[in-house]
A and B are shown apart, each in its own frame.
Chain A
Amino acid sequence: MGILTFKGGVHPYDGKELSKNSPVVKYLPKGDMVYPLSQHIGAPAAPAVQKGDHVLAGQKIADAAGFVSSPIHASVSGTVKGIEPRLTATGSMVNSIIIENDQQYESVEFTPARLEDLSKEEILARIKEGGVVGMGGAGFPTQVKLAPKEPEKIDHILVNGAECEPYLTSDYRRMLDDSEKLIEGLRVMLKLFDNAKGYICIEDNKPDCIAKLKEMVKDIPRIEVAELMTKYPQGGERFLIKAVTDREINSSMLPADAGCVVDNVDTVIAVYEAVILGKPVMDRIVTVTGQGIKNPQNFDVLSGTDMAELIEAAGGLTDNVSKVISGGPMMGFAMYDTHVPCIKTSSACLCLEKDDVADAQQTACINCGRCVGVCPGHVIPARLATFAEHGDMESFQKFDGMECCECGCCSYICPAKRPLTQMIKSMRKMVLASRKKK
Chain B
Amino acid sequence: MDQMLHVSSNPHVRDKMTTSKIMQLVVLALLPTTLFGIYNFGLRALLVVVITVASSVFFEWIYDKLMHKKNTITDFSAVVTGLLLALNMPASIPLWMPVLGSAFAIIVVKQLFGGLGQNFMNPALAGRCFLMISFAGKMTDFAVSDSFRGVVDTVSGATPLAALKQNGFTDSSVSVLHMFIGDIQGTIGETSALAILIGAAILLVFKVIDLKIPLTYIGSFAVFVILYMLGTGKGFDVNYLFSHIFGGGLMLGAWFMATDYVTTPITPRGQYVYGVCLGVLTAVFRLFGGSAEGVSYAIIFCNLLVPMIERVTRHPAFGKGGKKA
- Please, which residues of chain B bring their CB within 8 A of the CB of A350? 12
Among A325-344, those with CB < 8 Å from B are 325, 329-338
**Which B residue's beta carbon lies closest to that of A249?**
B319
Interface centre among A166, A360, A412 (most CB of B within 10 A): A412
- Please, which residues of chain B bring their CB within 8 A of the CB of A383? 266
Does the CB pair B9–A425 fall under 8 Å?
yes
Q: Does A365 contact B (CB under 8 A)?
A: yes
Q: Does B6 contact A (CB under 8 A)?
A: yes
Does the CB pair A250–B317 fall under 8 Å?
yes
Contacting residue for B6 out of A166, A258, A334, A337, CB 8 A? A334
Q: Does B314 contact A (CB under 8 A)?
A: yes
Does the CB pair A321–B116 fall under 8 Å?
no
Does the CB pair A367–B15 fall under 8 Å?
no
Q: Does B296 contact A (CB under 8 A)?
A: no
Does the CB pair B117–A422 fall under 8 Å?
no
Q: Does A382 contact B (CB under 8 A)?
A: yes
Interface centre among B6, B10, B117, B264 (most CB of A within 10 A): B10
* B91-106 vs A, Cβ < 8 Å mask (1 yes, 0 no): 0000000000000000
Q: Does A47 contact B (CB under 8 A)?
A: no
Does the CB pair A334–B325 fall under 8 Å?
no
Write the nearest CB–CB distance from B123 to chain A, whole angstroms.
13
Q: Does B8 contact A (CB under 8 A)?
A: yes
Of A75-83, A262-270, A372-380, the one with at least 4 CB within 8 A of chain B? A372-380
Q: Does B19 contact A (CB under 8 A)?
A: yes
**A331 and B12 alpha carbons, distance in the complex (Å):** 8
Does the CB pair A330–B21 fall under 8 Å?
no
Does the CB pair A415–B318 fall under 8 Å?
no
- What total of chain B residues lie within 8 Å of the partner, measured CB to CB? 42
* A384-427 vs B, Cβ < 8 Å mask (1 yes, 0 no): 00000000000000011001001011011111110101100100
Q: Does A248 contact B (CB under 8 A)?
A: yes
Main secondary structure of the interface of A (DSSP, over half): loop
* B1-17 vs A, Cβ < 8 Å mask (1 yes, 0 no): 10101111111111101
- Please, which residues of chain A bring their CB within 8 A of the CB of B314? 380, 399
Asked, given contacts A358-B6, A366-B261, whether A372 binds B12 with beta carbons under 8 Å apart, the answer is: no
Contacting residue for B19 out of A355, A366, A411, A413, CB 8 A? A366
Does the CB pair A400–B317 fall under 8 Å?
yes
**A317 and B266 alpha carbons, distance in the complex (Å):** 43
Write the nearest CB–CB distance from A278 to chain B, whole angstroms.
37
Write the nearest CB–CB distance from B71 to chain A, whole angstroms.
12
Contacting residue for A364 out of B5, B117, B268, CB 8 A? B117
Contacting residue for B266 out of A335, A372, A377, CB 8 A? A372
- Please, which residues of chain A bring their CB within 8 A of the CB of B268? 369, 372-373
- Please, which residues of chain A bring their CB within 8 A of the CB of B22? 366, 368, 415
Does the CB pair A356–B9 fall under 8 Å?
no
Does the CB pair B17–A377 fall under 8 Å?
no
Q: Does B18 contact A (CB under 8 A)?
A: yes
**A383 and B267 alpha carbons, distance in the complex (Å):** 11
**A158 and B266 alpha carbons, distance in the complex (Å):** 35
Q: Does A99 contact B (CB under 8 A)?
A: no
**A425 and B19 alpha carbons, distance in the complex (Å):** 24
Contacting residue for A323 out of B12, B18, B325, CB 8 A? B12
Q: Does A253 contact B (CB under 8 A)?
A: yes
Does the CB pair B317–A379 fall under 8 Å?
yes
Q: Does A352 contact B (CB under 8 A)?
A: yes
**Which B residue's beta carbon lies closest to that of A400?**
B317
Write the nearest CB–CB distance from A248 to chain B, whole angstroms.
4
**A414 and B317 alpha carbons, distance in the complex (Å):** 20
Among B104-124, those with CB < 8 Å from A are 115-118
Given A359-B14, A363-B18, 9 new contacts (CB under 8 A): A238-B319, A249-B325, A332-B12, A336-B7, A367-B261, A369-B267, A372-B268, A403-B318, A422-B8
Interface residues of chain A, those whose CB is within 8 Å of chain B, are: 10, 12-13, 91, 166, 238, 242, 247-251, 253, 257-258, 317, 319, 321-325, 329-338, 350, 352, 355-361, 363-370, 372-373, 376-380, 382-383, 399-400, 403, 406, 408-409, 411-417, 419, 421-422, 425
Which 6 A-B pairs rank lowest in CB-CB distance, beginning with the nearest? A250-B319, A408-B11, A403-B317, A400-B317, A364-B117, A356-B14
Interface residues of chain B, those whose CB is within 8 Å of chain A, are: 1, 3, 5-15, 17-22, 72, 75, 77, 115-118, 261-262, 264, 266-268, 314-322, 325
What are 11 A-B residue pairs whose CB atoms fall within 8 Å in the complex? A238-B319, A248-B319, A329-B12, A334-B8, A364-B117, A366-B22, A368-B261, A378-B318, A411-B11, A412-B13, A422-B9
